[in-house]
Amino acid sequence: MIGGLFIYNHKGEVLISRVYRDDIGRNAVDAFRVNVIHARQQVRSPVTNIARTSFFHVKRSNNWLAAVTKQNVNAAMVFEFLYKMCDVMAAYFGKISEENIKNNFVLIYELLDEILDFGYPQNSETGALKTFITQQGIKSQHQTKEEQSQITSQVTGQIGWQREGIKYRRNELFLDVLESVNLLMSPQGQVLSAHVSGRVVMKSYLSGMPECKFGMNDKIVIEKQGKGTADETSKSGKQSIAIDDCTFHQCVRLSKFDSECSISFIPPDEEFELMRYRTTKDIILPFRVIPLVREVGRTKLEVKVVIKSNFKPSLLAQKIEVRIPTPLNTSGVQVICMKGKAKYKASENAIVWKIKRMAGMKESQISAEIELLPTNDKKKWARPPISMNFEVPLAPSGLKVRYLKVFEPKLNYSDHDVIKWARYIGRSGIYETRC
Partner 1 sequence: MTDSKYFTTTKKGEIFELKAELNSDKKEKKKEAVKKVIASMTVGKDVSALFPDVVNCMQTDNLELKKLVYLYLMNYAKSQPDMAIMAVNTFVKDCEDPNPLIRALAVRTMGCIRVDKITEYLCEPLRKCLKDEDPYVRKTAAVCVAKLHDINAQLVEDQGFLDTLKDLISDSNPMVVANAVAALSEIAESHPSSNLLDLNPQSINKLLTALNECTEWGQIFILDCLANYTPKDDREAQSICERVTPRLSHANSAVVLSAVKVLMKFMEMLSKDLDYYGTLLKKLAPPLVTLLSAEPELQYVALRNINLIVQKRPEVLKHEMKVFFVKYNDPIYVKLEKLDIMIRLASQANIAQVLAELKEYATEVDVDFVRKAVRAIGRCAIKVEQSAERCVSTLLDLIQTKVNYVVQEAIVVIKDIFRKYPNKYESVIATLCENLDSLDEPEARAAMIWIVGEYAERIDNADELLESFLEGFHDESTQVQLQLLTAIVKLFLKKPTETQELVQQVLSLATQDSDNPDLRDRGYIYWRLLSTDPVAAKEVVLAEKPLISEETDLIEPTLLDELICYIGTLASVYHKPPSAFVEGGRGVVHKSLPPRTASSESTESPETAPAGAPPGEQLDTVPTQGDLLGDLLNLDLGPPVSGPPLATSAVQMGAVDLLGGGLDSLMGDEPEGIGAPSFVAPPAAAVPANLGAPMGSGLSDLFDLTSGVGTLSGSYVAPKAVWLPAMKAKGLEISGTFTRQAGSISMDLQLTNKALQVMTDFAIQFNRNSFGLAPAAPLQVHAPLSPTQTVEISLPLSTAGSVMKTEPLNSLQVAVKNNIDVFYFSTLYPLHILFVEDGKMDRQVFLATWKDIPNENEAQFQIRDCPLNAEAVSSRLQSSSIFTVARRNVEGQDMLYQSLKLTNGIWVLAELRIQPGNPSFTLSLKCRAPEVSQHVYQAYETILKN
Residues in 265-284 that interact with partner 1 by CB under 8 A? 273, 275-276, 278
SS3 274: strand
How open is the CA angle 311-316-317, to the nearest 5 degrees? Answer: 80
Q: How many residues line the site for partner 1 (CB under 8 A)?
A: 104
Of 213, 288, 319, 434, which one interacts with partner 1 (CB under 8 A)? 434
| 253 contacts partner 1 (rule: CB under 8 A) | yes
| Contact string (CB under 8 A) for partner 1, positions 208-247, x = contact | ------------------------------------xxxx
CA 431 to CA 192: how far, in whole Å?
Answer: 11
CA 402 to CA 215: how far, in whole Å?
Answer: 5
Minimal distance, residue 14 CB to partner 1, in Å: 6
Minimal distance, residue 181 CB to partner 1, in Å: 12
Minimal distance, residue 182 CB to partner 1, in Å: 8
Residues 71 and 3 sit within 8 Å (Cβ to Cβ): yes
Residues in 86-145 that interact with partner 1 by CB under 8 A? 99, 102-106, 109-110, 113, 117-118, 120-125, 132, 137-138, 140-141, 143, 145
Binding span for partner 1 by CB under 8 A among 154-162, 164-172, 309-317, 407-415: 154-162
CA 201 to CA 267: how far, in whole Å?
Answer: 11
Minimal distance, residue 163 CB to partner 1, in Å: 15
Minimal distance, residue 362 CB to partner 1, in Å: 27
CA 49 to CA 43: how far, in whole Å?
Answer: 13
| 379 contacts partner 1 (rule: CB under 8 A) | yes
CA 355 to CA 145: how far, in whole Å?
Answer: 59
| 61 contacts partner 1 (rule: CB under 8 A) | no
Cβ nearer to partner 1, comparing 169 with 378: 378
| 306 contacts partner 1 (rule: CB under 8 A) | no
Residues 207 and 173 sit within 8 Å (Cβ to Cβ): no
How open is the CA angle 185-190-196, to the nearest 5 degrees? Answer: 55
CA 155 to CA 153: how far, in whole Å?
Answer: 5
How open is the CA angle 8-12-17, to the nearest 5 degrees? Answer: 35
Minimal distance, residue 406 CB to partner 1, in Å: 22
